[in-house]
Structure formats: C-alpha cells, structure tokens
Amino acid sequence: MKRFLLILALLLAATPSLAQGMRVHARLVAEDRAIAPGGTTTVALVEDIAPGWHTYWKNPGDAGAPTRIEWKLPEGWKAGDIQWPRPKRLPVGPLMDYGYEGQPWLLVPVTAPAGAKPAETVTLRAHASWLVCSNVCVPEESDLVLTLPVGPQAPDAAVAKSFAAARALLPVASPWKVVYAAGENLDLYVGAPSLAEAHPASADFFPAEAGTIRNPAPQRVGYAADGLVLRLAPDKKVTGTLNGLLVLTGTDGSTQALEIAAPKGAVPPATFPEAADAAASGLSIWLAIGFALLGGLILNVMPCVLPILAMKALAVARHGAHGREESFTYAAGAIASFAALGLSILILREGGAAVGWGFQLQSPVAVAGFALLVFAVGLNLSGVFEVGSITAGENLTQKSGLVGAFFTGVLAVAVAAPCTAPFMAAALGFALTQSFAAALAVFVALGVGFALPFLALGAWPRALAFLPKPGPWMLRLKQFLAFPMYGAAAWLVWVLAQEAGPNGVAILLAAFVALAMAAWLWTITRETGGRGRLAGAIAALAVVALSLYGVSLLNGQAAPVRQAGGSKLGEPYTPARLAEYRSAGRPVFVDATAAWCITCLVNEEAVLSKDSIKNAFAQRKVAYLVADWTSQDPAITRLLKDNGRSGVPMYLYYAPGAARPVILPQILTESGVMAALGS
C-alpha cells in the first residue's frame, strides 16, 4: 500500500510538468570527425536550457542535483568523468544554487580500445538525467546516441570554436599560493601582489563539498599587502583541505576560474572596502514574504490539491460570465484559510503549545475528519449525491456558486496544509521567530501565492476565454477526478493506521461506509414528496452523526508500537541520545519525518532506502536517529524550531566536533547525502 501511494503521489505531481514539455534539450557532439584506435576524443553533452531555467554544477549549492551521464559503450571503450565548466551563483529566494543557464557544454573524454577496427562505425549511447529549476524544479532525462567512425583522427572544423569556448570555461590550477584560516569567519587568502594591485571586479568561491560555507551569505573581498583575501561565512568546521573553485572577474569583464586545494595557514591582516551588506543579516521579512508567495504557488502541484484545482477550473468554465467572481471568491477562501491556520499556530504557541506546520494531522480525529471530507468530495465527483437543486432561482444559484467557491478554497488549503513545498520551510521557520503581525503577514503571503492562479483569472477576465467551452466532456472529467480523491482518502487511512492502529482503521472504514450510505439515502429521497425528502434527510443526518460519533472515539485509541520509521536504519530520536552520540565523537544523521508527509515518504523510498546510503552510514559509523513527528512530540518540535524549521521533512547531519549541523535540502538526492557525509 505504501509503495502504491508513493507512486500515485509522484504521478499526480509530475502530470502538469510533463504536459508543459522539456525545459532542457540535450545532445551529444564529438570534437573529432573520427577516432583512431587507442585514441581519445572529447564528447560534449550540450544542454539547451529554456530561458529562466537552470541546471546544476557538481555541488548544486543549497538545493538541486547535478547532471548525470550513464554511458553504454561497446566493449573496450571507456568514458571519463565530466569536466565541469565554471558555474554561476544563482540566488533562489534566501537560498543560493550553483549551476548553469543558457547552453553549457559538459565535456567528457572518450577512449577507443587499441583493437578498434579502422573503417568501422561505433555507436556511443548515454542516458543523461538532470534537474532543471526555475520557481519549481523538474527532473528530466534523455537517451542520447552518437555514431563515430574509427579512422584517422582529425578535428571537426564545424564545432572547433564551440569546443574552444567550452574549454575556456574550464578551471585551471591556481598559479598562486592559497591558504585559509577558520574561525568566526572563513578567510581565503591568495598570495598574489598583482591581484592586490588590480583589484578585480569580483571574486566568488564555489566549494567542492556541500555544507562548507553558508552559500547565500555575501563573499567580501579584502586586500592585504601582497594578496587578496575572500571573507566567507563558514557553515561547518573545516579541518582538512578546503577544495573548490575561485572565480575572478576583472574590471574588463574577463573571467578565470582557479581550482584550489587550500591548506590551513596564516592569513595576513586585510582591509575590506565598505559595502552595503543588507543580506548579511540573513532573511528579511520581505524576503520571507516573497519566499512564502513562491512556496504557496508551488503547493498547487501537490497531489491532493490538483483534483481540487481542476474541479474549481471546471466550475469557472461552467459559469462563464460569473467565472471572475468565482475566481476571486475561491482565492478569498484560500487566503482566509491560510490566515486562520497561521493564526491558530501563533495562538497555540503564545499559549505555550509546541506546534508547527502540519500539527493538525498529529490528531487521529483530525486525520479521520480529513479522510471523510476527501472521501465525501470523491462521492460528490462520482455523482453519488448532489448538494442543492438545479431548479433553484438564479439568485440562489449565484449565491450557491460563490459560497461553494469560497469553501472549495477552504478545502484546497485543508488538503494542502500537511505539505511543505520548496521555499516554504525557511519562510515559515522565519515567521515563527518574528512578531505576531510579521508572522501573520507571511502566512497571508503563503495564501496569496496559493490562490495566485485564480487571482490571475479574476484580474484578467480575458483569460477565461482560453478555458474550454462547457460540454459533455466536463462530466467525464469530473467523474475521473474522483479517483485521485479516493487515493488521497486511502493514504489518510494509512496515516491513521500509524497513529491509532488497526482498531482506528476499522472505525474509519465503518465511517466511510456510513457516509456512503448517507449520501445514497440523501440522493434517492430527493425526488420524493415533502415527507419522503424530510425522512431521507433525517436518516442521512442520523447516519452521518453516528459515523462522526465513532470517529470521536479515535482519541482513545492507543498508537501502535512503531519501529524507528524513516529508512529503518535508525533508532528513535531523543535529545539525550543525540547528546550521547555527539559527546562520543560519532557523526549523527537526524531524519525528522512523519507518516503523513508525502515528501518524507518519497525521500525514504528514493534515497534513504538505497543500499549505497545504508553502506555509507555503516562504513562511517553514522548514528541514524529518526525524529518521528507523526504524533505530537515537544522535543521534536523544539528540534525543528532550533534549526529554523516549522515542519517536516528536515534532515540534519552532525559531523564529529561540528558546532552545528548541516541542514540538507527537503528534496534529497543520493549525491547530496553523500556530499554531506564528506564523500
């Protein structure tokens, strides 16, 4: 069941992205027209990236994943590692990514065996995969083929300039002495008097390993008597060699990337020109609001929300001239719901309760209530029952439509609230450390971002003309949308099983049956006389009341004894256990997760359950602690708050002796986890 729900969630989340086509078109290009037996040529993976999107360097920064190439070569042929061109710093809200825009050429040396036969043509195959991001991130992949003759080796003049330009972007070894000193700041010193005199326009350091520096922090350039000092903000204690790229840009616009492996050493005193460093203070309220807007917008592609949005779009298309009013009313319902949810969290926190984002799903009764609500929506979409009369007057129809639109917005927020999208975690964590008014502003911004598609429809009525005209297809689509809702209800039943055990599941399934029966009773008595309709309504309400009474008993159900959760590598988190491992000098990985967190489950299945990750933990003797937040736990809530988060997932890696943990991205990758471990 768990694997089925994960696959369902991934398919639903990927649907809108697939519909919009590829953002990156990749191809293979050979530098030579032919390759000699035993010779080596360079093959480029060329990524044509759509405007406004980017792919990633080998260290993607705060989020993302690098491009990967899996070669399928004839026997005896060999492909080397990717030669990475210098990346760019790509700010995304308060985060900083390292990657590429436009058309990067990733160069790979390919060697033919000495026994390759002249005049034969070989086929080189590669499976390339990458993550391409803008305000959202989309994983893409492509199977690529390149044919290459074996024969006298000669450069292909048609691509010679392109390969020369690609090689100009590759880093070279630093010709100067480079050392670093670590303390409150991480100072990188380049012993080059010519740099001190030239005063380059900018200097940027790209660490080879994730978690070395705070990527979004400003990198300040200072000057000593005989060199340049780059002041960085450390993210963890650096004890060995500091590896990475130093990219220098001259006042004439010329740029050079230097590959450095800096040991610890003495850094001379330097002077730093004064600069406006507003970002140095960290995330501001305005950045948090912008971050919340983007996070709210991305929430729209969450699996449970998509059918709600499609249902609302159908209603807007059906009501034609009244579509603008419905769009604004839906948006009002969504924004009001986010404001109310934020207000609830803030009030509970003011009263001393340890709660965070998604706290409502830590109650079995709330989980069951959500499940019944989603199941009822599915029954309605399937046509089992209808609310309202199609013969009502025009005024009542309009009123029902607007009321329905408002509560559709409320429903969309209800099913989206357990999720945290990219950009949300930092904004919510920041909000819960600010004043009441500032925090509420972030929650309202989250609601505005969530409602933005329908706000756009309302503000630009001409866009309604692009919606399909009403027709029989709407009924079929409406019926189809019931099935994602049934899938969401099934997932919530599984969540309840983690909190209330088999007895809780039995109670909820009985409530499902009762709800379906109530819907049936309501429907079959609508066309009878006045007494029949009244009797049907009373009977339906009685059955619903009975099911709700059963659900109210769930708070008395004991939670089942669970294993550690997560990837089943670890043991339950407690502050004492964390302190014990850290005092013993062991590295610690903390997985803050919950049964109702789909992102957590996807990360578990796609990354944390991999044998390579398990083996890496075992080889490094990493203590794996699972902070299971499925049910309310003040210690885990405190852990989230201490690390600037208000919900799960959250992944922390404590290196031995580190003052604070490395916080991994919410969307895990195998390479990202390995990089955090120091692989």
Query: Which of 288, 307, 301, 290 shows the shortest CA–CA distance to 138?
Result: 301
How far apart are the C-alpha atoms of 635 and 572, rounded to whole Å? 12
Among candidates 184, 196, 241, 191, which has minimal Cα distance to 221? Answer: 196
Q: For residue 565, what pLDDT band results from cuts at 50, 70 and 90?
A: very low
Q: Residue 391: what pLDDT? A: 31
Question: Omega before 649 cis (within 30°)?
Answer: yes
H/E run at residue 174: none
pLDDT band (50, 70, 90) for residue 226: confident
Query: What's the pLDDT tens digit per position in 575-589?
Result: 888 888 888 889 999
- What is the reported pLDDT for 359? 56
**What mean pLDDT comes out for the span 619-626?**
92
Choose between 375 and 57: higher pLDDT. Answer: 57
Residue 550 CA to residue 309 CA, distance in Å, equals 31
Q: What is the pLDDT of residues 246-279, one digit of tens each?
A: 999 876 677 889 999 999 988 888 777 643 333 3
Give the residue among 218, 180, 184 at the shortest CA–CA distance from 202: 218
Average pLDDT over residues 186-202: 84
| Helices vs strands, H then E, count in the chain | 18, 25
Q: Please give the pLDDT value at position 278.
A: 33
Residue-wise pLDDT for 513-539, tens only, equals: 888 888 888 888 877 777 778 887 888
Q: What is the DSSP letter of 624?
A: E
Of 53-57, 609-613, 636-640, the poorest mean pLDDT is in: 636-640
Measure the CA–CA gap between 596 and 191, rounded to whole angstroms.
54
- Which region among 38-52, 438-452, 491-505 has the lowest average model confidence (pLDDT)? 491-505
Q: What is the pLDDT of residue 89?
A: 92
Q: Are 392 and 400 in contact (CB under 8 A)?
A: yes
Q: Looking at the predicted structure, is the pLDDT value of residue 296 above 60?
A: yes
Sort 68 into a burial class: Cβ within 10 Å, 0-12 / 13-18 / 19+.
middle
How many CB atoms are closer than 10 A to CB 340? 14
* pLDDT for residue 312 is more than 80: no
Tokens representing residue 99 in the block: 């990657």
Tell me what pLDDT residue 292 has. 81
pLDDT tens profile 329-345: 878 888 888 888 778 76
What pairs with residue 519 in β-bridges? none
Please check the confidence at residue 294 and state whether its pLDDT lies above 60.
yes
Residue, of 462 and 286, whose pLDDT is higher: 286
CA–CA dist 303, 596 (Å, integer): 13
Note the pLDDT of residue 555.
67
Q: Do residues 5 and 490 touch, judged by C-beta distance below 8 A?
A: yes
Say whether pLDDT at 476 is over 90: no
Q: Is 173 helix (H, G, I), strand (E, B) or coil?
A: strand
Range 185-191 average pLDDT: 91
pLDDT band with cut points at 50, 70 and 90 for residue 195: confident
Average pLDDT, the chain: 79
Judged against a pLDDT cut of 60, whether residue 545 lies above it is answered with yes
**pLDDT value, residue 465:** 61
Give residue 19's pLDDT.
40
Q: What is the mean pLDDT of residues 532-547?
A: 82
Angle at 353 between CA 349 and CA 355, to 5 degrees: 75
Closest CA to 128 of 53, 10, 25, 7: 25
Specify the higher pLDDT residue, 666 or 112: 112
Q: What are the φ and ψ backbone dihedral angles of 336, each rounded to 5 degrees?
A: -60, -40
Q: Which residue has the higher pLDDT, 475 or 224?
A: 224
Model pTM?
A: 0.43
pLDDT of residue 280: 34
- Regarding predicted confidence, which is higher, 535 or 89? 89
CATH numbers and ranges of domains, the chain: 2-168 (2.60.40.1250), 173-272 (2.60.40), 285-556 (no CATH), 571-677 (3.40.30.10)
Residue 8 has pLDDT above 70, yes or no: no
pLDDT at 76: 93
